[in-house]
């Protein structure tokens, strides 16, 4: 398993918020929902993404935007259109004065807006729970990723557009999986773009020495790796591997492995009922005590506290 496959293996939408927005200008939506990740795809017309911190970006038909983190932003028909609607946590939709709008603007199954024949149509998918998205994935993304239509395989939009308005048995599961596929497809394209601000480990994947080393770590993070054993597997000296790995990835091999193990442990603590002992052995620690010591040193709290708080 390569590092990107391992990273993208994380998205697991569960009852994600899915919506088709159909809007005639002027329209402007203020997004304050605090969701860890949201995917917005334009299937008709255009829209402007206006982050509170950053430059406004225009989205045309087939373009996709991915927002990560809890920052607020505005989506509008024009940069100058003032917000008319506020989206709050829990998908609560109101006017600027707090008056509810969700029912007033409902246009059918998972369809919402101010016009049934809107000039702008967007498909929106939101991951509400941080357990649905690994922290390693969120940490690898900037607050806003925008991909033009010709930079990714947007054929999924047609299928998603057909499915989003259905109310068949099992439809929620179908939409969850389609959202995962849409996210993975677009992120894979984004990471591969020339000039993309991809993390060091992704850029290092093509290196003849560090690439195989990364793959070994991701293939079997529970193995008792040392710099020496990793160097032997990649047919270089310990010093050469350590120097090259640190330069390309930004941290030493064992520090990277520790981060990988603890990130996996955190996901398992949040998403499963596995015992601490089972989690420890799964990610490469000899016992629960060893995992607890490392976890608390790096994250500042014990695995039990982390699980009890349900934090990201």
Encode pLDDT of 122-181 as tens digits. 999 988 766 545 666 777 788 899 999 999 888 888 889 888 988 888 888 888 888 888
The confidence band for 10, taking pLDDT boundaries of 50, 70 and 90, is low
The continuous run of DSSP H or E covering 112 comes out as strand 111-113
Cβ atoms of 240 and 209 closer than 8 Å? yes
Residue that wins the pLDDT comparison between 161 and 279:
279
Q: Which two structure tokens, joined as six digits, stand for 163?
A: 């499915």
Please give the average per-residue pLDDT across 16-45, as a whole number.
Answer: 93
- Report residue 87's pLDDT band, with 50, 70 and 90 as the boundaries: very high
| Residue 44: both structure tokens together | 């008709």
pLDDT, tens digit, for every residue of 200-230?
Answer: 777 788 899 999 999 899 889 999 999 999 9
Q: What per-residue confidence (pLDDT) applies to 133?
A: 54
SS3 168: coil
How confident is the model over 170-195, as a mean pLDDT?
85
- 142 close to 73: Cβ distance less than 8 angstroms: no
Contacts (Cβ under 8 Å, ≥6 apart) of 149: 60, 61, 62, 63
pLDDT (0 to 100) of residue 132: 45
Average pLDDT over residues 19-38: 94
Averaged pLDDT for residues 68-91: 93
Going by C-alpha positions, the residue among 233, 224, 271 that lies closest to residue 9 is 271
What pLDDT was estimated at residue 205?
Answer: 81
Residue count of the chain, please give it.
312
How far is Cα 101 from Cα 85, in angstroms, rounded to an integer? 8
pLDDT at 105: 94
Per DSSP, 119 falls in state: S
């Amino acid at each position: 398993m390569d590092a990107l496959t391992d990273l993208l293996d994380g998205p697991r939408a569960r009852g994600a918020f899915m919506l088709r927005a159909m809007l005639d200008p002027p329209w402007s939506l203020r997004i304050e929902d605090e969701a860890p990740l949201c995917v917005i795809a334009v299937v008709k017309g255009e829209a402007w993404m206006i982050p509170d911190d950053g430059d406004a970006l225009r989205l045309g038909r087939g373009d996709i935007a991915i927002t990560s983190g809890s920052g607020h932003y505005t989506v509008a028909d024009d940069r100058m259109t003032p917000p008319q609607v506020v989206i709050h946590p829990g998908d609560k939709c109101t006017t600027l004065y707090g008056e509810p709008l969700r029912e007033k603007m409902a246009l059918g199954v998972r369809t919402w807006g101010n016009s049934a024949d809107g000039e702008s149509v967007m498909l929106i998918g939101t991951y509400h729970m941080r357990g649905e998205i690994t922290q390693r994935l969120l940490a690898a993304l900037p607050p806003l990723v925008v991909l033009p239509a010709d930079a990714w395989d947007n054929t999924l939009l047609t299928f998603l557009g057909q499915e989003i308005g259905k109310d068949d048995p099992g439809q929620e599961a179908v939409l969850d999986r389609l959202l995962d596929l849409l996210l993975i497809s677009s992120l894979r394209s984004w990471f591969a773009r020339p000039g993309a601000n991809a993390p060091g480990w992704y850029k290092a994947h093509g290196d003849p020495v560090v690439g195989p080393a990364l793959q070994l770590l991701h293939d079997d993070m529970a193995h008792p790796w040392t710099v020496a054993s990793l160097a032997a597997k990649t047919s270089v000296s310990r010093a050469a591997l350590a120097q090259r790995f640190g330069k390309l990835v930004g941290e030493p091999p064992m520090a990277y492995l520790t981060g990988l193990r603890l990130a996996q442990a955190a996901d398992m603590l949040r998403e499963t009922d596995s015992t601490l002992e089972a989690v420890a052995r799964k990610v490469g620690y000899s016992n629960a005590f060893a995992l607890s010591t490392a976890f608390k040193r790096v994250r500042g709290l014990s695995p039990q506290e982390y699980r009890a708080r349900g934090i990201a």
